Amino acid sequence: MPDAVPADKQSSSGVKNLRWWICTLLFLATLINYLDRQTFAVATPAIVEEFSLSNDDVANINIAFTSAYMIGQLVTGRFMDVLGTRAGFLIIMLFWSVSGMLCSTARGIVSLSVFRFLLGWGEAGNWPASVKAISEWFPTRQRGLGVAYFSGGGSGLGAMIAPVVIAQLILWTDWRWMFVIVGATGFLWAPLWLWFYRSPEKHWLMRRDELDELRQEQSRKPESPQKQGVLAGWRSVLRYRQVWGVAFVRFFSDTILWFYLAWLPKYFVDERGYEMEGIRDHLWIVFLPAIFASFLGGGISGRLIERGWSVNRARKTVMLVTGLMMMSSIGVGLVESDVTALLLSSIALLSFYAYSTNTLTLPADLVSPRLVASVSGFSGMGAGLGSVLFTKLVGSIADTYSFTPVFILIGILPLLSLASLFFVMGPIARVVRD
């Protein structure tokens, strides 16, 4: 296929809603991302037994991943803006796939931490790259749904099937072969991406009317009265409180998801007596509603915008309701029933995904497509920093007391995220454009 098609050669008879085929590639990448991410969490009981690890040791391995993820968000965001979405995403996918496979060769906590660090560095690029692609391909009215599809759908489905797939692979083989098999899935995605992805202006299947819609929107004046200008990179946008606000919102909210992904299997093993079969058979239920919640969160905010609500009002309304619902985590460690604990966890994650769909859309609401990956990466660094700090706290508290105080803390974090949204961030409006 051609690498570029001049705009005047594009046809109105191209593929309608081509953007959703592009988004499907982002969905698949995110699904793979979450499978690779949860390999260690699901395999933790087997790895802990082989290497005789404490909760604090597990926390340190998770910190290796999250700290790399934190720094990687910032670096890969700028990397995407400089290199471009197509080449940049291909490189980071191959990098994290190889890193995931290397985990199979670990001989102890040090080597496993190194390989998880590399995996975190590579996986971090998924979000800046995907949000950048969404900003390039989707009009504002559909960005929430686009993010819901790739992020909520991909991460929700990935998180849901991970306990089933990973636990079954471990039962069939062992945890080392599981890392190899899951890591290899990235090599199936890479050729599809390289063949099919182009920018809207260069895609041979792009319809002229849809391209014109994107161009018209990008040429509009920004909602913010602040002075505009062409900025050099992510450092230049740090003058705006909205950019810092997104980082603080994610500092507190994303920590909730990181906790559930990294620690929920071990919690059910340590404090509720689950075996690997129990992880396989029951934990997927927790993530099932998350798939639909992402579309609900993005769909509601998008529909409100279509009905004339401002982006600021629509996003914040949805985030307020779902943020308060995330507080259900408080009860997980307090109830005796396993079913109730699973239900409360499911409500918390359902609410998080609806909340996160709007959070991940914010960079595209604030800046021009050229800078979206940088701002997304900066906010991702905030998310990673919160996760690093809390992960260490989880290991210490769980070893000293139990997971019950941890769930209470997790239930308080949504309030801090909402406070950042309303009092730090200020109005959600375009502050930087080309």
Q: What span, in angstroms and rounded, lies between the C-alpha atoms of 36 and 159? A: 10
Q: Are 156 and 293 spatial neighbours (Cβ–Cβ below 8 Å)? A: yes
Q: What span, in angstroms and rounded, lies between the C-alpha atoms of 133 and 196? A: 13
Task: For each of the domains in the chain, give its residue range(s) and CATH number, in order of start.
Answer: 17-215+231-425 (1.20.1250.20)
Count of other CB atoms within 10 angstroms of residue 171: 13
The pair of three-digit structure tokens given for residue 165, joined into one six-digit string? 């797939």
pLDDT at 227: 40
pLDDT tens sequence across 24-73: 999 999 999 999 999 999 999 999 999 999 989 999 999 999 899 888 87
Single out the residue of 163, 172, 199 nearest to residue 80, CA to CA.
Answer: 199
End-to-end CA, the chain: 30
Q: What span, in angstroms and rounded, lies between the C-alpha atoms of 306 and 28? A: 28
pLDDT tens sequence across 239-270: 888 889 999 999 999 999 989 988 999 999 99
| Residues 6 or more apart in contact with residue 434 via CB below 8 angstroms | 218, 230, 368, 370
The parts of the chain modelled with pLDDT lower than 70 are 1-13, 217-236, 432-434
Residue 52, phi-psi category: left (phi > 0), alpha (psi -120 to 50), beta (remainder): left
Q: What span, in angstroms and rounded, lies between the C-alpha atoms of 291 and 155? A: 8
pLDDT at 226: 41
Rg (CA), the chain: 21
The pair of three-digit structure tokens given for residue 18, joined into one six-digit string? 């081509």
Single out the residue of 199, 209, 183 nearest to residue 104, CA to CA.
Answer: 183
The pair of three-digit structure tokens given for residue 433, joined into one six-digit string? 């454009």
pLDDT at 231: 40
Reduced to 3 states, what is the DSSP secondary structure of residue 230? Answer: coil
The pair of three-digit structure tokens given for residue 76, joined into one six-digit string? 């890969």
Q: What span, in angstroms and rounded, lies between the C-alpha atoms of 393 and 306? A: 43
Residue type for position 3? D
The pair of three-digit structure tokens given for residue 348, joined into one six-digit string? 């918390």
pLDDT at 220: 59
Count of other CB atoms within 10 angstroms of residue 215: 12
pLDDT at 62: 93
Query: How far is C-alpha 147 from the chain's CA centre?
Result: 10
